[in-house]
Structure 1
Amino acid sequence: MSQKQSKNSVPSLYFASLQHFVNQMNYTVDCLNKIPQLRLLPPAILSDIYCEMAENKDLRDGLLVELSDVDLFCKLIKYQLIRDNMLKIFKLLMTNNKPLVSELQRIFVQRGQLLLSEQIDQMRNSKLIANEVDMDTEDSTTEFINDDYQLSRQYRKEIDKGLRLGTFLYESGWLDDSLKVLKVTKSMINQLGEDYQKLLLMLSCLQKLLHVQALFCCYKDASITTSQALNLIEKIHNIYSESGVPESLLANIYHELSVLHFNRSEYDLSYKWGVKGLEYLRINTPAKISVDVLRQAAKSCVVKRKFQIANLLINSAVRIAENAFGDHHTVYADALLDKGFFLLNVDSINKSVEVYMEALKIKCCIFGEKNLNVAVIHEDLAYALYVYEYSRGHFNMARFYVEKAIQIMSELAPSNEIMLASAKRVKALILEEIALDNMVTPNARDFKGLLKESEDLHQSALQLSLDAFGEINVQTAKHYGNLGRLYQSMTKYEDAEDMHQRAIKIKRDLLGDYDYEVGLSIGHLASLYNYHMKKYREAEDLYLKSIHISLKLFGQTYSGLEYDYRGLLHVYEELHDNENYMKFCDVLDEWRILRSDERKKPRFIELSEDATVEDVTKKFFEMSAES
């Protein structure tokens, strides 16, 4: 019933009646008095009416007042079948500057704080009365028990609303407001009497808090939440060993920990918790949790360069999401986002851009343009387009999308500098390439200006990374590496050398000598020595180290080897080392043959379409044991 017909179809009697009813509404006293009476209707019909009202610009103010009632709103979002309607209403009100989000958050937080202060007053009064009356009398005891029972019931009702509202807000992209709601909800849970249900409520709240903190880059708070969640899991297992923690909740928490560490560029920990989450997936695990765990584990496998396993996980996530939710749902779009990330990393760049475009289209349709969920996809798509256009030099679309991301983030989360830093880093990379393309065009005068803007963006991103993560972090090392490549373009070769050396040292200290990231930075420094500083012996040594890392990690057919082989050929040509030049000509030819043979083989292992989530996890652990 809540599924609206397309504009080109003939409306059913139900929708024709609905539209007629809403079209008759106006701001007369009689009409305004009738709006609250609509609440007596079934939720599905009520949400359809509200949808029609949201489409009518003259009725949006009245609808804002109506839906600012937290009790009503939480009642409606309780029903999954009308979720699409509620998201549409949300989008229409928010994109037309009707502040439903801030009103719901403000009212809920005020109510929660009032309830908490009432309990403090009651506890004080209880102590005072206890000193004045005989607490052994039956009437006095009954009175206090009843008061405590009523307060507990109030808390539990508000807690349920807080968890629902907080979840809906973060799923809708309103992270800051969700944080405020969940923090008050957590405070209310703390006031409940200690029992199994209270501990599970708290764990569920911590999982949601962790989700928002990881997405919103609140890393210090997330570290505290992580400790609380892990300690609580241990406490529940110790006290309630038979009941324990539901497996779906454990899978969800471990997934959130994987996301947090991934966002902090702590990839070993991200992989560890991603695998831990997979251990708790079952056939009866809710589909959304299964999809989230699978896609995050896939991302962790991508950065560990375990592409066969990543392919298994991400394709399973996309399939489960589409089967469970359809191809116009946020869960499906989220799975597509991570598939785009996978495709980008396995050199399927064109397909990656297509997948990102599809995800963006879905998210824009659901949330509208002015939304953080959409801003994140703009950034991801911008980077994919930057990689896609790298060889052709057409960066206008990449620039458009990254500037769109920065615009939305600046408007909706102006104080969240870490989130902005990521988008600024992508813009800096794009501007650098545009500047280099302008060197030999009539726009050459823009060259220095674009490089300076790129440098400012990189320096800003580096400082924010230092503030958030410190010097010894992979993310910080990446910023040093980006600056190194920029200074190379600006002919500041000594500065470039310093930046690349810093990046290599940090990555080696964190990841060891034989990590993909280490090899990447070594290759960049080798290029600087080879093509700009004419330090050919140093370049030779670095290229050989980079090649050794690539062969050890990925084998003889790895695509990145071509870059190093060509670099070595240039080194030996400049050194007039004909013997080694001919040797690596043969190596490069052999690499091409092996790559050609590799392309003829099936690239990835696929499971059948009817494979269950347990089939997927079983295959994952089998493949992990073999690798």
Structure 2
Amino acid sequence: MSSTTIIVPSLYSTALKRFVKTLDLTVKNLNSVHNLRLLPASILSDIYCAMAENYILQDALLSELSDVNLFCKLIRYPSIRDNMFKVFKLMMKNDKPLASELQRVYVQRTKFLLSEQILFQNNEKLVSLNDDFNECNGASNNDVYLNINTSRSYFKEIDKGMRLGSFLYECGWLEDSLKVLQMTRSLIQELDDDYRKLLLLLNCLQKLLHAQALFCCYKDASITTTQALSLIEQIQSMYSSGQIFIENNMSTTTTAGVPNSLLANFYNELSMLHFSRSEYDISYKWAVKALEFLCHDTPQKISVDVLRQAAKSCVVKRKFQVANLLINSAVRIAENTFGRHHNVYADALLDKGFFLLNVDSINRSVEVYMEALQIKTCIFGERNLNVAVIYEDLAYALYVYEYSRGNFNTACKYVGNAIDIMSKLAPANNLMLASAKRVKALILEEIALDHMVPPNATDYKGLLKESEDLHQSALQLSLEAFGEVNVQTAKHYGNLGRLYQSMMRYTDAEEMHQRAIKIKRDLLGEYDYEVGLSIGHLASLYNYHMKKYRQAEELYLKSIHISLRLFGQTYSGLEYDYRGLLHVYEQTNDNENYIKFCDILEEWRLMRSDEKRKPTYIELNEDATIEDITQKFFEMCNDTTL
């Protein structure tokens, strides 16, 4: 006899649904619902969530939540933020512009507050011209009263701006976040110069830098960076000279007057900024500096963010053992602190996927990206920049995974989703969109190569032309943003080189590959992975299309040397170079070397199938503290054998 589990709705959920159902019939504006806002914030957010699920109520809800005071009251509580994420997802899905309305209202209020201050200051100047009025004590007291009230209003609005700005960029609404944080900065700058103002301004600049880096506003980000670094220097100088006094009972650890958590967060943002600009040495430097300021009282989210960004910086420096330590620690802390369905955990998974892709664990990388996509989509919905970024990352991972198989349909679908979302939510010249177009171009090129023979020859040419247009667009945006001497620009040259090879424009392909190699060598040195990649592509061009076999041989051997040095003997990319050399020796009748590399390729296959030959990584205990992690990091950095 089978038993059936019957789930009985709780009294609370039943009452909630009943209440929202009555609203459906009567409400046009929630102001008419007496004492609604007097309910506890948790209950109020549940009501708003239930309303967001009912399309008929969404216009009333848009009006209600556009009240910045109310909204900022709700997002003050971490336990309620998930509800507000859900509200955002449902509202934006139905084109209810909650993000832009909140931004508009906040900016409008702030401008009014600033204009009132300007008017007050102008009145003060006029009053100061009247000697008789200056002698009046009442006027002086009134000035003090007005100053106090103005200051209080500013601090309240600043707090709301910080919360709203960070919530919006966490939600993926970066343009609105930027406008809110810029106005918040303007408010802070109007405060009297004191220690509290300086810390508020530094915190705001750190948040602003985060949004600017994510939205690829690199010129603005450079200005923000300069301002913030100057501010840190000013605070530390004032502290050293005794102008700033920190009470001993202060719960937050500080360094020369600046909270360690704020320093860690800001240096982490600098690492992110330089990473996105492909300035990997600088990114690594700031990542290490951020790690130095992690301690026992650092908020867990900041610890996770610093660990995962440092891991990414280590990956591009090919410090894989250290990167593994950092990213696995970040994932563990995120899971234990926030759970497996939280945005912070999904962010950690994203960077773990990046690590796995770079250490040749491609299958696992795809799985991790898929898990992150499911979490992000559940939290933010499909129409969101956070989700678009994962679609792009997943598409690239699938492109690498399917490179030897040839089934690129799923990768093409995902990158198409990324471009569709970004096209609606980001400016046409934004580098986020350029990056996604680059990935699509790579995928289209591979699809085109499968359509080279009739009856698909027309499709082949059309796909290659579309791929070229995408690559050229991405290259121009990169040149405008970074200039010629940048790794990202070099990657675009390399991509065009491969494409022109497929289009049988061999001279153009050679020029593009040579440009890519020179830029990468100048920036990264002789033995970087990116250099080896471009060398291998030029070798392929010489080998299969230009019949420059001796030059191809030399380049293949250099590429192999770099791969062995960085990844070891079981690296998957070695197969292409080994096969390329076999073709060279076959064409040049070099039987001795042909036999030699046949044996090497066979040995490579055996090693790839041997689990014992795969690299093993250092792991810390589950209960390792943040101090344990950073201590191990610096020990490993000093170990020259790793």
- Find the counterpart in structure 1 of residue 288 from structure 2: 275
- Find the counterpart in structure 2 of residue 79 from structure 1: 77
Contact 2:553 2:584 (8 Å CA) reproduced? yes
Contact 1:87 1:366 (8 Å CA) reproduced? yes
Give the 5 Å matches for 1:261-340.
261-340=274-353
- Find the counterpart in structure 1 of residue 481 from structure 2: 468
Q: 1:547 aligns with which of 560, 565, 584?
A: 560
CA distance in 2, matches of 1:303, 1:585: 32
- Find the counterpart in structure 2 of residue 580 from structure 1: 593
- Find the counterpart in structure 2 of residue 233 from structure 1: 232
CA distance in 2, matches of 1:270, 1:432: 32
Contact 1:162 1:182 (8 Å CA) reproduced? yes
Which amino acid counterpart does residue 221 of structure 1 have in structure 2? D
Structure 1 residues 429 and 13: alpha-carbon distance in aligned structure 2, compared to 1, 3 A threshold: same
Report whether the alignment pairs 1:251 with 2:264: yes
Structure 1, 572-581 or 28-37: larger mean CA deviation: 28-37
**Residue 252 of structure 1: how far off its partner (Å):** 0.7
**Residue 344 of structure 1: how far off its partner (Å):** 1.1
- Find the counterpart in structure 2 of residue 3 from structure 1: none
CA distance in 2, matches of 1:323, 1:337: 17
Report whether the alignment pairs 1:175 with 2:174: yes
Structure 1 residues 593 and 148: alpha-carbon distance in aligned structure 2, compared to 1, 3 A threshold: same
Which amino acid counterpart does residue 145 of structure 1 have in structure 2? V
Contact 1:26 1:32 (8 Å CA) reproduced? no
Q: 1:511 aligns with which of 504, 524, 539?
A: 524
Which amino acid counterpart does residue 462 of structure 1 have in structure 2? L
CA distance in 1, matches of 2:543, 2:43: 70
Report whether the alignment pairs 1:150 with 2:149: yes
Which amino acid counterpart does residue 527 of structure 2 have in structure 1? Y
- Find the counterpart in structure 2 of residue 394 from structure 1: 407
TM-score (norm. length: structure 1): 0.95
| Percent of aligned pairs with the same amino acid | 74
Report whether the alignment pairs 1:69 with 2:42: no
| Structure 1 counterpart SS, 2:129 | helix
**Residue 90 of structure 1: how far off its partner (Å):** 1.4
- Find the counterpart in structure 1 of residue 253 from structure 2: none
- Find the counterpart in structure 1 of residue 195 from structure 2: 196
CA distance in 1, matches of 2:498, 2:613: 35
Which amino acid counterpart does residue 178 of structure 1 have in structure 2? S
CA distance in 1, matches of 2:293, 2:49: 39
Contact 2:198 2:231 (8 Å CA) reproduced? yes
1:542-583 superposed Cα distances (whole Å, 9 cap, x missing partner): 222223333444455544333323322322222222333344
**Residue 138 of structure 1: how far off its partner (Å):** 3.2
| Structure 2 counterpart SS, 1:533 | coil
Which amino acid counterpart does residue 16 of structure 1 have in structure 2? T
Contact 2:37 2:44 (8 Å CA) reproduced? yes
**Residue 596 of structure 1: how far off its partner (Å):** 5.8
Contact 2:335 2:345 (8 Å CA) reproduced? yes
- Find the counterpart in structure 1 of residue 426 from structure 2: 413
| Structure 1 counterpart SS, 2:293 | coil
Which amino acid counterpart does residue 204 of structure 2 have in structure 1? C
Q: 2:440 aligns with which of 421, 427, 444?
A: 427
Q: 2:450 aligns with which of 420, 437, 445?
A: 437
CA distance in 2, matches of 1:325, 1:20: 32
CA distance in 2, matches of 1:94, 1:108: 19
Which amino acid counterpart does residue 412 of structure 2 have in structure 1? R
CA distance in 1, matches of 2:609, 2:418: 39
**Residue 483 of structure 1: how far off its partner (Å):** 0.4
CA distance in 1, matches of 2:7, 2:106: 40
Structure 2's unaligned 5+ residue stretches are: 247-256
CA distance in 1, matches of 2:102, 2:632: 45
**Residue 590 of structure 1: how far off its partner (Å):** 5.2
- Find the counterpart in structure 2 of residue 348 from structure 1: 361
Contact 1:288 1:331 (8 Å CA) reproduced? yes
**Residue 600 of structure 1: how far off its partner (Å):** 4.1
CA distance in 1, matches of 2:362, 2:528: 23
CA distance in 2, matches of 1:373, 1:298: 20
CA distance in 1, matches of 2:203, 2:45: 28
Contact 1:461 1:479 (8 Å CA) reproduced? yes
Structure 1, 404-413 or 568-577: larger mean CA deviation: 568-577
Contact 2:570 2:613 (8 Å CA) reproduced? no
- Find the counterpart in structure 1 of residue 511 from structure 2: 498
Structure 1 residues 150 and 27: alpha-carbon distance in aligned structure 2, compared to 1, 3 A threshold: farther
CA distance in 1, matches of 2:636, 2:611: 20
Structure 1 residues 557 and 393: alpha-carbon distance in aligned structure 2, compared to 1, 3 A threshold: closer
Which amino acid counterpart does residue 154 of structure 1 have in structure 2? S
**Residue 616 of structure 1: how far off its partner (Å):** 1.1
- Find the counterpart in structure 2 of residue 120 from structure 1: 118
1:363-392 superposed Cα distances (whole Å, 9 cap, x missing partner): 111111111111111111111111111111
Structure 1, 365-374 or 573-582: larger mean CA deviation: 573-582
Q: 1:16 aligns with which of 10, 14, 17?
A: 14
Structure 1's unaligned 5+ residue stretches are: 1-6
1:456-484 superposed Cα distances (whole Å, 9 cap, x missing partner): 11111111111111111100000000000
- Find the counterpart in structure 1 of residue 417 from structure 2: 404
- Find the counterpart in structure 2 of residue 529 from structure 1: 542
CA distance in 2, matches of 1:549, 1:349: 20
Structure 1, 395-404 or 537-546: larger mean CA deviation: 537-546
CA distance in 2, matches of 1:248, 1:494: 53
Contact 2:301 2:344 (8 Å CA) reproduced? yes
| Structure 2 counterpart SS, 1:393 | coil
Contact 2:308 2:327 (8 Å CA) reproduced? yes
Contact 2:478 2:488 (8 Å CA) reproduced? yes
Contact 1:25 1:31 (8 Å CA) reproduced? no
**Residue 588 of structure 1: how far off its partner (Å):** 4.1
**Residue 592 of structure 1: how far off its partner (Å):** 5.1
CA distance in 1, matches of 2:621, 2:258: 32
Structure 1, 396-405 or 545-554: larger mean CA deviation: 545-554
Structure 1 residues 142 and 27: alpha-carbon distance in aligned structure 2, compared to 1, 3 A threshold: farther
Which amino acid counterpart does residue 611 of structure 1 have in structure 2? A
CA distance in 2, matches of 1:195, 1:247: 19
CA distance in 2, matches of 1:145, 1:430: 66
**Residue 283 of structure 1: how far off its partner (Å):** 2.1
Q: 1:381 aligns with which of 388, 394, 398?
A: 394
Structure 1, 118-127 or 575-584: larger mean CA deviation: 575-584
Report whether the alignment pairs 1:50 with 2:48: yes
Which amino acid counterpart does residue 532 of structure 1 have in structure 2? H
| Structure 2 counterpart SS, 1:471 | coil
CA distance in 2, matches of 1:9, 1:330: 29
Structure 1 residues 532 and 36: alpha-carbon distance in aligned structure 2, compared to 1, 3 A threshold: farther
- Number of aligned residues: 621
**Residue 587 of structure 1: how far off its partner (Å):** 4.3
